[in-house]
Structure 1
Amino acid sequence: MGVVLRDDDAAFRKMGGHDLIDSYLVYRARDTLCSVSSADTEDYRHLLSAMNPKELGANEVAMLVTNLKALAGAVACIDNVLHDELLSAISNMSLWNYKPDVMDALLEFIESLATSSGKYVDYCLKMLTCQFFPPLSLPLPKILARKDGVLSRVHSSLKYIADLVPLSPVRLVPIVLNGKPQYCFNTISTLSLVIYVENMFKLESGVLGEVVRIPMFAGVVHLLVELDVNIGWEDIQNETSERIFEMEIEDGDESRDDDGELPRKLSQKILGGNSFAEKLDSLMVLTFEHLESCQVADRLIKIFDTLLKLFKKTILTAYKPKFAQFVIFYACSLDPKNCGVTFALMLEHTFFFSTDGPVLRTKAIAYLASYLSRAKFLSVFVVAGTLERLVDWCVKYVKMQDNVINPKAHRIFYSGCQAILYVLCFRMRSMMDDPQLKPWLFHLPLESILNNKLSPLKVCLPSIVLEFLGQAKAARLFMTSEKFIFDDYLESELSREFGGTERLDMFFPFDPCLLEKSDSYIRPNFIFWSMVQPTYDDEDSSDEDVGEAFASDDDGGMDYGIMQSLEEQHFDFAEVGSALNKMSITPKDSLHSRFGGAINQPMRMPSRIRPSTSPESL
């Protein structure tokens, strides 16, 4: 028997003799496939050559299309052992390299093969999902021009197979997740990763969504975290430790734009050229847009439930996350009353009741404090309600303890106290300005948790403590007979080395986002420190001492340095002082003068906030 298709057959078929030749071609295809078992492989070899032509002229394309269609009708005769070369040749065909007629013929063959026998389902699904990645050799203009045509056909074929093979969506999940390029992330193009994630989101939101929704979204989140941890804190710290703090201290407002965020040139200075950061930025924007589409389709609540579980399992437990956590921050901003409150309650519950150990609980409270402080979309009453429950927990904790200061033994308590102080640094003024919350704030039993045998003010970060006490004094909290009960504390020498290796340095994960494109989505819903009006900025305040003590607006930044902690956890007290001075948001002279040094220079909480750089301290 001859090859599956001769040149004259192709010409005849091209002229329209479809009905006359189709059955004949299928018959010849079957005969050619069966001939392999009898060692008569001449026609089969011709077929293999036709499936991989050296050139793609009109005749070659016509033969390729007709051979594929003929093979689609003869799939019952295909044997994965006898015809492995044929299957290999077909699997190496990329839809991106062909015009619609070849694409449609190839997909027809894949669909027929997948539905002919269960043993070929995985093979066909792999052939389809391989199309999620355009060939590396294909130029960008062609990729963009062909993308919609290729991917719409692929998803149509996946649906067709799912309709006829109901278990195929379940089998599709590991194929897609394991189909991620195995080569290094820094060599794959950003566009390839974007197209891959686009397809994952298309599966999640499509007709197969009920089966693949959670694993597809989980795959995206895992990919974001994987890129995030590959950035490395040294990529940020190399700049922040040598230039950023210096600029923050010396340049003041010049290091920020009018909205308080890092200007683009500074963001580029820190992460520009970092391939992992660029890829993460693009994928996060894609994720933000997908969340927006979920909101429009009125299914954000359903997807948020999945995202919340993924956050607890993947991001909350991740080592040194830097930006991936902003995905859930953005989801919360799209629906503050539902998603926004739910996220806060989950973090609160984790801090109060988790049995997974102190590390997870301190991470949860760090997320909660940062979220309550930074989320512009959260009502101040939601923040107040959370603070009240945190304070109540701390009050009960103090009553149950007989021990003295011990940062290690009471780590969870101290992290809770620091979270309360941090949130109040951002939110105290708004609470004082509200006629309902002002009396509530004065009756909040803060003194009982701050002024006791555990002395949290000596363990919490000095930057946070000083800012909180400055605002509290201006707001006339903790006043007794016109005396601020913590005056002695403010005027005494504060040991920055207190606690040694157990010193409470904490990571606040929602510090400003340094990813340029992602920041444009986060910024409208984000509170920068420059937007906060502390209580001591009130021109009508009668407390001149506070005005003096916190008058300068040019010292360091709360954003860069408030969460600074030491990279090395093994050090002596002398090293602590030296390292802290280098990493501090406030110059040494300013700290010295604030605590009674010879230089009479006022000190205040920095006016600009920069990202945390030390989650490993958790």
Structure 2
Amino acid sequence: MSVYSASMATTPILKSANTSLNRKKIHERIRNTVQFQLISQNGLRKVLEDASKGINVGAYEDYIRAMHDVDLSDPDFGVLIKESRQCIELLKPHKFTLFVETLICLNWINRNETLIVEYQEFLIDLLSEHNKYTSFALSKLIQFWVPKPIDESFWKNGVPDERIKFFLNYVHQTLGKILDVIPMANDFAIEVIEKLFPYYTKPSYVIAGYMNNMMWMMEYRPMFREDLLQILFKNFVLMDVSVRRSDIEAAERLSQDAEEIFKMDADDVKLQNQEGMQHPIAQTIDICLNKLFEYITAQCQSNPNEDSNKTTLRCSHFFKILMKSFEDYILPTHKTNHIQFVMFYFCSLRTSISESFISYLCSKVWDPNVATTVRQSSVGYIASLLARGKFISQQRIKHTLHDLCRWAHDYVEKSDASQNTQNIKVHLVFYAVCEAIFYVIAFRSRDLTNSSENLTFLQSLQLSTLVTCHLNPLRVCLPAVATTFAGVTRAHQLAYCHTILERNARRKLAMVYQNEIVMPEETLDTTFPFDPYLLKKSGKYIEAVYQQYQPCEDEDPNGVHSQIATNEQRRRKRVESLMSSVDDDDFLSDPKRNKLAEHSKNYEKEILFSYGTSPGFH
């Protein structure tokens, strides 16, 4: 027995009150039903005409109240719709808005097919005559797109079962007919769809179900595709940035730990891991991106009965739509986790698409009128795509590296050696381009050093001139990128970077000791957007075209790593010696000693990060 039922059993007064309340509701419902039938006998037209003249307004109000409170039977519903259709010319917005809105809110979707068709015809006639009701009617129809909690079991991975699909089919039929006969309804529909999009914290089945209906509309309303995809990307970006990558990884690790601790049954464990992501928002993104990847595949795959040129044109048109969403929502957003892989997968479908995408990104980088943050983000996309895309040809990698290096060399020649090189924001794009060059060469070293022709190409890039220029790009690169690049260039005698890395490290520590304050962070805030994909269900689309890091076999890992280890030992001794001297210097002020000690700890952490782990180099 529940707590609620137990308390009711010991409280007869409450039970009596509750019974009286239920009895009162039943009597009220019967009274409304009888009243509705009595009012209906007079005819709806008479009720409306009298109310329009200010006569017997109470009957009109009772009619509305009865419509709202009574669960109309099919015969009563049919009579009401027929009479309402005959009185459409009377239902002017400034007089009968409440009546019409109550009529639109009636339960019509669970009726028999004859009544549903009759309701559809009435609604179209009503909106054609009085377009002021269009926005409200569309809103009520599109609200059917949002899955109800009671229907959760009928929505699996954003796909409705046959029962739900049967009712939704009538909703989409009605929407399609309204949009066909009322042109102004198109703009209203887009506004309502965007407004009713579920908040990103809603359960997965709600958001994925709503997305399913949006894609359903794209089938019978292709002209909405661009607007609907814009709405999807806007909301997906919001979801994607709302959860940190580390939170997704932590949720997966926690699930694995729990699995080991509680020794769950093997079959149950397998089922749990296959069901999806442990983080709820990551699970929503996973389901939605899986549906989007399916849609993209369908748009670009060749149909045996379709001319190949027609397929190419459709794919090209879809590329323009995706690029609009990418430029508006994804590119300007810092550190998205997965939504950008829509472009990665789309580029993998056709070589011409990847070529166009890289050309677009390069045009952003070369254009000085583009915002610096967008240019830096574009560089990150170029580097990450070249490094991670299995579908990117070696010729395209070399061609893009050549363009990046040429731009960097031109920038160095035009820059003044006497300019301020301490503030990296002044030369942010240059440093981002250099880091992209170093990253691609380090990541693709196996492909770029496997022949004398490729080595000759790397020599033509004049990497040594770039790393030794007065702007000192290695100073601001991510430690992992700089270290791996240094190992590759040393192994193949392309440039010698370790001396520069040592000098940069000594300079950083010396400046702290001299200026009494910790130096500002000199590392670029770099993001490689196509870092490993974490989502399970949609990951199958990425895995086959995604390049994992493979170190070059021709490199001398023992020599490089032994040199790195030796350098690390020297740095550690230098730090320990410096801290020892700090303790011995009585003249050194406490604030200065504390700041130096703090920096030394951070410096040790940086060394460990630089030579222990790296973004993607494992």
TM > 0.5 fold call:
yes
In the alignment, which of 277, 284, 300 is matched to residue 282 of structure 2? 277
Does residue 218 (structure 1) correspond to residue 218 (structure 2)? The answer is no
One-letter identity of the residue aligned with 1:213: R
Superposed CA deviations along residues 313-361 of structure 1, whole A, max 9, x for unmatched, are 21111244222211221221222x1221111111111111142332221
One-letter identity of the residue aligned with 2:355: V
Determine the C-alpha separation between the residues in 1 that align with 2:450 and 2:272.
37
Determine the C-alpha separation between the residues in 2 that align with 1:574 and 1:127.
65
Superposed CA deviations along residues 258-306 of structure 1, whole A, max 9, x for unmatched, are xxxxx999999xx954332222222222221221222137323212112
* 3-state SS of paired residue (1:90): helix
Which residue of the partner structure matches residue 488 of structure 1?
A: 499
Contact 2:248 2:282 in 1 (8 A): no
Which is worse superposed, 370-379 or 315-324? 315-324
Which residue of the partner structure matches residue 290 of structure 1?
A: 295
Determine the C-alpha separation between the residues in 2 that align with 1:216 and 1:118.
23
Which residue of the partner structure matches residue 434 of structure 2?
A: 417
In the alignment, which of 447, 466, 478 is matched to residue 461 of structure 1? 478
Which residue of the partner structure matches residue 615 of structure 1?
A: none
In the alignment, which of 343, 368, 372 is matched to residue 328 of structure 1? 343
In the alignment, which of 120, 132, 144 is matched to residue 107 of structure 1? 120
One-letter identity of the residue aligned with 1:218: Q
Superposed CA deviations along residues 105-136 of structure 1, whole A, max 9, x for unmatched, are 43332222112233232232223222222344
> 1:449 Cα shift?
1.2
> 1:464 Cα shift?
0.7
Determine the C-alpha separation between the residues in 2 that align with 1:398 and 1:333.
35
Matches for 1:249-268 after TM superposition, within 5 Å: none
One-letter identity of the residue aligned with 1:587: L
Which residue of the partner structure matches residue 134 of structure 1?
A: 147
One-letter identity of the residue aligned with 1:508: F
In the alignment, which of 215, 219, 235 is matched to residue 201 of structure 1? 215
Determine the C-alpha separation between the residues in 2 that align with 1:91 and 1:443.
72
Does residue 511 (structure 1) correspond to residue 531 (structure 2)? The answer is yes
> 1:457 Cα shift?
1.7
Superposed CA deviations along residues 535-570 of structure 1, whole A, max 9, x for unmatched, are 2x23xx67862475589xxxxxxxxxxxxxxxxxxx
Which residue of the partner structure matches residue 578 of structure 2?
A: none
CA 1:580/1:283 → structure 2, altered by over 3 Å: closer, same or farther?
farther
> 1:421 Cα shift?
0.5
In the alignment, which of 72, 93, 102 is matched to residue 80 of structure 1? 93
Superposed CA deviations along residues 126-170 of structure 1, whole A, max 9, x for unmatched, are 232222223444453396343322333233223322332233223
CA 1:92/1:576 → structure 2, altered by over 3 Å: closer, same or farther?
farther
Which residue of the partner structure matches residue 261 of structure 2?
A: none
Name stretches of at least 5 consecutive residues in structure 2 with no aligned partner.
1-32, 258-269, 304-310, 510-518, 566-593
CA 1:54/1:460 → structure 2, altered by over 3 Å: closer, same or farther?
same
Which residue of the partner structure matches residue 173 of structure 1?
A: 190
* 3-state SS of paired residue (2:426): coil
Determine the C-alpha separation between the residues in 2 that align with 1:104 and 1:421.
65
Determine the C-alpha separation between the residues in 2 that align with 1:330 and 1:524.
10
CA 1:285/1:99 → structure 2, altered by over 3 Å: closer, same or farther?
farther
> 1:467 Cα shift?
0.5
* 3-state SS of paired residue (2:206): helix
Contact 1:111 1:124 in 2 (8 A): no
- Percent of residue pairs identical: 24
Determine the C-alpha separation between the residues in 1 that align with 2:271 and 2:523.
34
Determine the C-alpha separation between the residues in 2 that align with 1:351 and 1:267.
41
In the alignment, which of 520, 526, 530 is matched to residue 540 of structure 2? 520
One-letter identity of the residue aligned with 1:418: E
One-letter identity of the residue aligned with 2:56: D
Determine the C-alpha separation between the residues in 2 that align with 1:465 and 1:507.
15
Structure whose residues are more often helix by fraction: 2
Determine the C-alpha separation between the residues in 2 that align with 1:165 and 1:344.
42
Contact 1:347 1:364 in 2 (8 A): yes
CA 1:104/1:370 → structure 2, altered by over 3 Å: closer, same or farther?
same
In the alignment, which of 51, 56, 60 is matched to residue 36 of structure 1? 51
> 1:195 Cα shift?
2.3
Determine the C-alpha separation between the residues in 2 that align with 1:605 and 1:382.
29
Which residue of the partner structure matches residue 589 of structure 2?
A: none
> 1:102 Cα shift?
4.6
Which residue of the partner structure matches residue 200 of structure 2?
A: 185
Which residue of the partner structure matches residue 353 of structure 1?
A: 367
Contact 2:204 2:284 in 1 (8 A): yes
Does residue 587 (structure 1) correspond to residue 608 (structure 2)? The answer is yes
CA 1:545/1:234 → structure 2, altered by over 3 Å: closer, same or farther?
closer
Which structure has the larger Rg over C-alpha atoms?
2
> 1:390 Cα shift?
0.2
Determine the C-alpha separation between the residues in 2 that align with 1:545 and 1:108.
81
CA RMSD of aligned residues (A): 3.9
Determine the C-alpha separation between the residues in 2 that align with 1:110 and 1:274.
43
> 1:511 Cα shift?
0.7
How does the TM-score come out when normalised to structure 1? Answer: 0.73
One-letter identity of the residue aligned with 1:515: L
* 3-state SS of paired residue (2:505): coil
> 1:235 Cα shift?
3.1
Contact 1:431 1:438 in 2 (8 A): yes
Determine the C-alpha separation between the residues in 2 that align with 1:107 and 1:331.
39
Which residue of the partner structure matches residue 489 of structure 2?
A: 472
Does residue 373 (structure 1) correspond to residue 393 (structure 2)? The answer is no
CA 1:434/1:294 → structure 2, altered by over 3 Å: closer, same or farther?
farther
CA 1:124/1:26 → structure 2, altered by over 3 Å: closer, same or farther?
farther
CA 1:507/1:608 → structure 2, altered by over 3 Å: closer, same or farther?
closer
Does residue 444 (structure 1) correspond to residue 461 (structure 2)? The answer is yes
> 1:440 Cα shift?
1.8
Determine the C-alpha separation between the residues in 1 that align with 2:602 and 2:272.
28
* 3-state SS of paired residue (2:417): coil
How does the TM-score come out when normalised to structure 2? Answer: 0.73
Does residue 432 (structure 1) correspond to residue 449 (structure 2)? The answer is yes
CA 1:434/1:310 → structure 2, altered by over 3 Å: closer, same or farther?
farther
Determine the C-alpha separation between the residues in 2 that align with 1:497 and 1:517.
45
Determine the C-alpha separation between the residues in 2 that align with 1:409 and 1:311.
27
